[in-house]
Amino acid sequence: MTPQERDAVSLGASRPTMSPDLIVQVPSGVTAKEMSYQEAIREALREEMVRDPSVFLLGEDIAKHGGAFGVTRTLFDQFGPERVRNTPISENTIVGAATGAALVGMRPVAEIMFVDFSGLAMDQICTQAAKLRFMTGGQCKVPWVLRMPQGGGAGKSVAAQHSQSLEVWFAHIPGLKVVHPSTPYDAKGLLKAAIRDDNPVIFLEHKFLYSFRGLVPEDDYVLPLGQCEVKREGKDVTVVASGAMVWHAMLAAKMLASEGISVEVIDVRTISPLDELTIGRSAQKTGRVVLVAEACRSYGPTGEWGMVVTEQAFEYLRAPILRVTGRDSPIPFADSIEKGVWPETDDVLAAIRRVVAW
Amino acid sequence: MKISKEIGLEMYRRMVRIREFELAANDLFRRGQVKGTVHPYIGQEASGVGVCMALRQDDLIAGTHRSHGHNIAKGANTARMMAEIMGKETGYCKGRGGSMHIAAFETGSLGALAVVGSGIPLAVGAALAFKMRHEDRVAVPFTGDAGSNTGNWHESVNMAAIWDLPVVFVLENNHYGVSTNIRDTARVEDLSVRAHGYGIPGVRVDGFDVLAVYAAASEAVNRARQGEGPTLLVTESYRFEGHYAGEPEVYRSRAEVEDYRKRDPIPRFSNYLTSEGLASPQEVEAVQSEIQQEIAEAVEFAKRSPEPEPATAMEYIYA
Amino acid sequence: MASEVFIYKMSEHMESAQILAWLVREGERVEEGQPLLEVMTDKVSAELASPASGILKGIRPGTIAGAQVAVGEIVAFIADPGEEVPMLPPLGGLDTPHQMAGPEAAPAEVEPGIVRSTPIARRIARELNVDIARITGTGPNGRVTEQDVQAYAKGRAAALSPVELRPVPTDPKRRADGDVWLELTPVQRVTGERMRDSLLTAPQFALSLDVDMTNALWLREALMDRVAAETGERLSVTGVLVKVVASTLPSHPRANASFVDGRLRLRSEIHIGVALGTESGLAVPVLRNADRKSLSEITRDLVDFQRKGETFAFAADDLADGTFTISNLGMHGIDRFQAILNPPQSAILAVGRVVKRPIGLPDGSIALRPMMNLTLTADHRCMDGLQAAHFLSELGQRLERPYFLI
């Protein structure tokens, strides 16, 4: 081993990793089980389908096959082909049919295999479902959930048409709600809330968080939509993040604690409607803000969060608001150029240090 | 097909109601009292009425941008419709929708939708719900010839077909998508053959003959109610007015329009009623005056009604 | 090959020199041996000669009048026309920290007139009723931080605060022996302490000059109408004085300076305080940026201060941060007097009354001219007799030939 390699190893050994105990959300004393993000989503679907017969699933390959990511595995066996319904490749009409069913009192949970395919259904999502209640002067409501995996993972090479983060497309449309959980605990609680919500909810799952594990309470629980969670309290810097980026933020916060920098991490959870108050309060407290999102930099979610910080906390700022984002590029295939297209923990660390030193 | 006097007069009444409503709307538009635009259904009344008369109150229709006729055919109140197209608070959609999004949910209408073909999947979804809940209700989406080229239409017909959903796909072939003739956008002249590609029956009828439409629609609705799946019903139609009110119709000849006007479904049917002895000329005339009165009152009502309060601008975005 | 211009050792114990002035401008051609800089070392001023013939280039930022430079430091280059010379880093003082990108490429130079500060600093400044433009920032690039604002506000509170200055009615107590004991008003007390401190710390000396005010008075008459039209008030002699002093100070920066922590702070702005007697005591309200004000504006300010003085309704900012003071007792019949320096200012001008006195004219005759005494008190740490004399003499000349005022 070269001295550099030896250093890297020893550094790696002492460097904290993304283990489940990085984010602990279940209060002590509550009976909980450790499960993956994927399982947590399945449990939410299962429990809601038991609770409410008007809940049913439709999407491609979700029945016996259990979905492209295995999320709906075993649900077909439990609920049958009527309620776990395979569709043809017709994204547009998957959503349109879900809307029609919702209009007459069902609570469909539709699935589009990758958020990248949502383009085929944008009319039904944004021009129809989002606006029906408004256009009809409140005569109807559209209580569906549209589940779509999004996001990328370094070295996984699923490339340009299967790796995007498109939450802002939907967040921009009034009438839609957009949710993006980062942990199994959040995934289950927020999906239940989404299913029970009377509005069309875009439920974005991070495909590379499916295997992340965490504690989930055994009893029924629902988390509120439209609320951020302060995943870690701190007083020196506020880091706002969503999805997989929350893990990078938490890891960076843990590492900086040993340097005496106290980082507060806010998990946005519901992209829209955005909980501006929690973000604002934190920014007022610390005066230093770093925003982290996987989506492309330009016109991405950090633009919105940055303006919210400015609106809520301008006179408390001690440094400019910094953002750490994905690169403005389609996702490449080759490792050498895929590297760096999304934020890494080191990028978040660097940004926090900059803002502290400003 | 034999019909009763009651049904006959009701059919006539509804067609006249649509005609008078559209004429009044056109007139108001020309006077600048209706905002935006309107898409007159004039000439197609037999198609909409023939279909809707075959439906129950709890069956659902889904419309297009040209759906004043569909909503009225399904039983919507003309005063509330007039108020809606004038953007008043008393309209069905409280002034939020306007002509292109007019929706009378209480009559069993999923509303008018302005993006061509977008309403069709909604009907499919509703039919899916009916089937899952073992209800014998039927969903009937309307579209034009141009709309049957959209992805919406093809995916919807396919999906309804594979699941045997209780849907009647009504395709009102008025031969034009705005300015483009269907012969330039579809390779088949008889659009009902498209059904065969999806494994469902396709039927083609004269859209100016309200009874023919009624008969075909009744059969298709019945099939659906029995759980036998969807049908494609093509009504050969024509709109006497432009795509929108006041359009300079440069894409078709006056001669063509005049030709079709001779087939006006309303006088055709009133003749039928009187010649078959189902109604006297006085009764027919009485319906006309009754409707004219109704529409005049609807216009008055709409004009008198207030616009929505600005303070309510942000309501109904979320449930 | 460019030659380095550096501060060379001129005496055995010399460690540094203070730059007094550049004698040549960037881009000018110089000859070997030609004086480039005037420097001061160990009380001796000297000229720095050019090491070579060529074009003076690449003058190092920060090598301005007053800057202290260590022996051996390079301050410029002599090079051939068209030859590139290295860019020297700015001379000492502020550490330029590692530039953080975020707001991209923050410039090292602070643009004049723009205050760099954080939003939180601005808010605190506003809440504490402090003019952030007056605060020297200690953050990177001269940025005013919240700590700077807090410190400034605390320091200013230690000085006169409006609350302190509010006149407190005194209650003379009579005692049996007939003596009256008076409590000092806060203004009187603070003024007394400051004057004492001034005399104890600043080595002050005075120079006197009698000025022939014929032309100045004539000009004042001529401009009276214009000022009256613009302000509705009378142009006073003091007003004219303020204007003339303000226009003379730029060429005599030592008279518009303060002695702070062993260094001379030459003020870039000219804020002239005018002593005003009030019932509560002495106040010195400040005409800010007097050099940029017109006679009308000066008149307006003076009248405003007069009015405020009646009830001592000055704001703290009215009384703060003067760079030079004028005290005029002429209207009270005083011929001449010597004022005490108003700390931390380096000079104060005492003005007497205008009286027609006989003076000898160049042709040997005697004439009666309206004469007015100017007595300048100066801080010897900031300027010596000669420098003070230059200032006072130029002031007198400009008063005697005040046509630049038109």
- Provide the CATH number for the domain formed by C3-79 in this structure: 2.40.50.100
pLDDT at C167: 47
Same domain, A258 and A196: no
Does the pLDDT value for residue A76 go beyond 60? yes
pLDDT along chain C (406 residues), means of 10: 81 76 89 88 77 90 84 88 84 43 41 76 88 86 88 73 46 63 78 87 94 94 91 92 95 92 88 89 91 94 91 79 94 94 93 95 93 96 95 95 82
Touch between chain C and chain A: 3 or more Cβ pairs under 8 Å: yes
Q: Locate the chain A residue with the closest alpha carbon to B314.
A: A134
pLDDT at B156: 98
Q: Which of A190, A217, A244 is the last residue of a domain?
A: A217
Same domain, A265 and A165: no
Q: Which helix (H) or strand (E) holds A304?
A: helix A301-313
When CB atoms are compared, the residue of A83, A123, A133 closest to B316 is A133
CB contact under 8 A, A133 and B158: no
pLDDT at A153: 85
pLDDT at C13: 62
Closest of C142, C84, C100 to residue C117, by C-alpha: C142
Calculate the CA B172 to chain-centre distance. 9
Range(s) of the domain holding residue A242: 227-357
Same domain, A181 and A97: yes
CB contact under 8 A, A96 and B122: yes
Q: For residue B59, give every residue at least 6 positions away whose Cβ sits within 8 Å of its Cβ, in sequence order, or none.
A: B108, B137, B138, B139, B140, B221
Range(s) of the domain holding residue B133: 5-312
Q: Which helix (H) or strand (E) holds A213?
A: strand A213-217
pLDDT at C135: 87
Convert the pLDDT of each residue in B143-194 to its tens digit: 999 999 999 999 999 999 999 999 999 999 999 888 889 999 999 999 999 9
Q: Does residue A83 fall inside a structural domain? A: yes
**Distance of alpha carbon B167 from alpha carbon B154, whole angstroms:** 14
When CB atoms are compared, the residue of A287, A314, A322 closest to C102 is A322
Q: Would you list the DSSP string of A58-118?
A: EETT-STT--TTSTTTTHHHHHHHHHEEE--S-HHHHHHHHHHHHHTT-EEEEE-S-GGGG
CB A127 within 8 A of CB B87: no
Structural domains of chain A, count: 2
Calculate the CA C241 to chain-centre distance. 16
Q: Which helix (H) or strand (E) holds B140?
A: strand B139-144
- Minimal Cα–Cα distance from B58 to chain A, Å? 11
CB contact under 8 A, B94 and A138: yes
Closest of A355, A344, A314 to residue A153, by C-alpha: A344
Q: Does residue B319 fall inside a structural domain? A: no
Backbone angles phi, psi at B231, to 5 degrees: -135, 150
Same domain, A184 and A208: yes
DSSP helix/strand/coil, A240: strand
Q: Which CATH fold would you assign to the domain C119-158?
A: Dihydrolipoamide Transferase (4.10.320)
Convert the pLDDT of each residue in A94-106 to its tens digit: 999 999 999 999 9
* Active site (annotated) includes residue A91: yes
Pairing mode, strands C29-30 and C54-57: antiparallel
pLDDT at C105: 36
Convert the pLDDT of each residue in A208-244 to its tens digit: 999 999 999 999 999 999 999 999 999 999 999 999 9
**Distance of alpha carbon B22 from alpha carbon B18, whole angstroms:** 6
When CB atoms are compared, the residue of A318, A354, A357 closest to C120 is A318
Selected residue of A54, A89, A93 to mutate for chain B interface (largest B Cβ count, 10 A)? A93
ipTM (interface pTM): 0.90
Chain B residues lying within 8 Å of A83, measured CB to CB: 132
Q: Does residue B33 fall inside a structural domain? A: yes
Chain C residues lying within 8 Å of A314, measured CB to CB: 119
Dihedral over alpha carbons C119, C125, C129, C132 (to 10 degrees): -100
CB contact under 8 A, A354 and C100: yes
Same domain, A283 and A193: no
CB C358 within 8 A of CB C367: yes
Domain ranges in chain C are: 3-79, 119-158, 198-405
Architecture (CATH level 2) of domain C198-405: 2-Layer Sandwich (3.30)
What's the pTM? 0.67
Is C103 an 8 Å CB contact of chain A?
A: yes
Touch between chain C and chain B: 3 or more Cβ pairs under 8 Å: no
CB contact under 8 A, C118 and A317: yes
For the residues A169-179, what does the mean pLDDT come to? 98
When CB atoms are compared, the residue of A287, A318, A357 closest to C100 is A357
Does the pLDDT value for residue B260 go beyond 80? yes
Convert the pLDDT of each residue in B39-90 to its tens digit: 999 999 999 999 999 999 999 999 999 999 999 999 999 999 999 999 999 9
Q: Which of A217, A244, A263 is the last residue of a domain?
A: A217
Calculate the CA B61 to chain-centre distance. 9
Structural domains of chain B, count: 1
Which range, of A90-99, A275-284, B211-220, C230-239, averages the lowest pLDDT? C230-239
Q: What is the CATH number of the domain that holds B84?
A: 3.40.50.970
pLDDT at C104: 37
Does the pLDDT value for residue A5 go beyond 50? no
Q: List chains adjacent to chain A, taking adjacency as at least 3 C-beta pairs closer than 8 Å.
A: B, C
Q: Does residue B318 fall inside a structural domain? A: no
Same domain, A172 and A263: no
Does the pLDDT value for residue B1 go beyond 50? yes
Does the pLDDT value for residue B14 go beyond 80? yes
